[in-house]
Chains A and B, each alone.
Chain A
């Protein structure tokens, strides 16, 4: 007699668990179906016509600007390397004044197996500014996360699932932060053209 209520409770608990599992499962399927339906939509990021080999330079990103280009952009010649994501290497150039202030900064990083532009595009509403454009003949996104700061990121799709990201900051644009994107795109194009063609 005493076991029946307990058994009922267990059954009830199981039903609740099953019901909640069913809810989660439904939610997951729903999200999944949404994903599959959204992935069937034509991507706003156009395909790349002449892919370039980002992977070949993933551990040599400091070679993506020539010394002449570095000088042309007013950056110091000696770049700094650091560990990037997924085994890649990030590279950074700076402009340091004679009194040791860093007044310009350029970061170059790469993805060798990631749909970067698609991800950035899906997050477009979260940026202070977002632009889908081309750099050279390659699809690119230009984003700023803070409208008040002269910091601009340019992501370029150099090949399917391969991308280069250039982030540029210059104090000279403190009063016109959007200008950081103008120079950022110029630097990004220079970086892109130094990538070897993909075989």
Chain B
């Protein structure tokens, strides 16, 4: 069984009893409201969201099975885009000063430092870290959905949503 945007969503919406689909419940307290098609996310996914978006974000949430495949593709597309931008940032950091005056030298030094050094606030490292977080979240969503559907491989949409070109 698979789920995707190809018309097989219905299977996922009403998984067979043998699939052992979990009931929609709260993970860490609080009530979850929504259609019965929502899949409770794993604690791992919740902890990732909590680390990324703050403690409240990981407390209680559900995954919409119908939209999860597209979300996985979108998260991975966003990760790929951030990684590509990190590559550009690295290139920008390697440009030599246009002159030997103090301003030019200092400007390039500062641009390099902010663009691609290993410090916490530089652009390339931040983009790479962000890409990694998105990839990790996508991987956890994959696991959750695969476990819920009891499939080895998901049938995912071929394209990311508009605005997420890689």
Contact = CB atoms under 8 A, between A and B. Distances in A.
B87 interface: yes
B132 A149 contact: yes
A85 B91 contact: yes
Given A28-B102, A32-B101, A146-B118, A123 B76 contact: no
Contacts of B91: 84-85, 109, 111, 165
A44 interface: no
Contacts of A30: 102
B60 to A, nearest CB: 28
A119 B83 contact: no
A27 B103 CA distance: 9
Interface string B92-120: 11111000111101101000110011110
Contact of B73 (A100, A105, A123): A100
B21 interface: no
Interface string A121-157: 0010011100000000000000011110101010100
A32 B102 contact: yes
B contact patch SS: helix
B80 interface: yes
Q: Would you call the interface of chain A mostly helix, strand, loop, or mixed?
A: mixed
B154 interface: yes
Contacts of A145: 90, 116-118, 122, 124-125, 128
Interface centre among A82, A120, A123, A153 (most CB of B within 10 A): A123
Given A111-B94, A126-B118, A151 B103 contact: no
B96 A99 contact: no
A53 B113 CA distance: 30
Contacts, number: 100
Interface string B124-148: 1100110010000001001000000
B153 interface: yes
A147 B128 CA distance: 11
A127 B153 contact: no
B38 to A, nearest CB: 23
- Give the interface residue-count category, chain A: 35 or more
A107 B88 CA distance: 10
Given A36-B100, A92-B84, A153-B90, A85 B95 contact: yes
8 contacts: A31-B101, A85-B92, A85-B95, A105-B80, A111-B91, A153-B90, A165-B90, A165-B91
Interface of B: 73, 76, 80, 83-84, 87-88, 90-96, 100-103, 105-106, 108, 112-113, 116-119, 122, 124-125, 128-129, 132, 139, 142, 153-154, 156, 158
Interface of A: 27-28, 30-32, 35-36, 39, 82, 84-85, 90, 92, 98-102, 105, 107, 109, 111, 114-116, 118-120, 123, 126-128, 144-147, 149, 151, 153, 155, 165, 167, 169
